[in-house]
Structure 1
């Protein structure tokens, strides 16, 4: 059963997907029901996400299935083009990591938060500044994560800080 749930690390699997995985394994009898696999699925822990091949592939390629950037009359935002289960990882948010104080100073000078995300890392306030477009690591891509809006009260995705282990070195990201 572990090998089936491992193939669905980023998003909760559907019954159809599990049935296809069971068929691909060649199992015809004495196998778990798709409903049992779905019930056992859990979101990746921070430690698992850091080295998960699907997450690394998404962070590197910026191909996050099920998301699209939409223009809302001059304001851009991210919309889901498919249903995601609770705890699914939709995309990443990355940029230059600076102190919270530096981020607030920049925001004050520009009179807006812009594409900055503030969070606590241990006891320290940190800011990921994704204002620079395009980012240094994806010079020819528009990253979806920088268009995710976040609210402390009415959120539908929760960020998780993670240090992803990439071939070119570790990268601080927020996984939504």
Structure 2
């Protein structure tokens, strides 16, 4: 009897420790769907910046890209329109929301996968701070270093209907 109780307690502890918090679950639900990346901008520094984002394409290529998040299996994609500067097409991702209790912020993290949901970059991924998230708008930020100076890349999204 004691052994069965101990096994049940261990199972309960493991399931609670692996579960997603209410806050993260709410953010996942808000993220679910199709978004348009309206603008990529920079803050915390002056000057003109040009960058390759997510080791994929130049910042200008991401403007007007479409992002899709499916919350039931944590997969999605973003689509870049082809142009003379941009290698267009779909990039498939596996994503999640990570809470950072030390500073009360959450992050969107993702890594690249193929069409069969297999990792293609050896586990390399990206984290973006969720600065604002509502049913219609989302702002994500990432901090990078340029010549030893801190620069924040700001991604402004609107939800598609």
Asked if TM exceeds 0.5, the reply is no
Q: Choose between structure 1 and 2: higher strand proportion.
A: 2
Q: Normalising to structure 2: TM-score of the pair?
A: 0.24
Q: Choose between structure 1 and 2: higher helix proportion.
A: 1
Q: Normalising to structure 1: TM-score of the pair?
A: 0.23
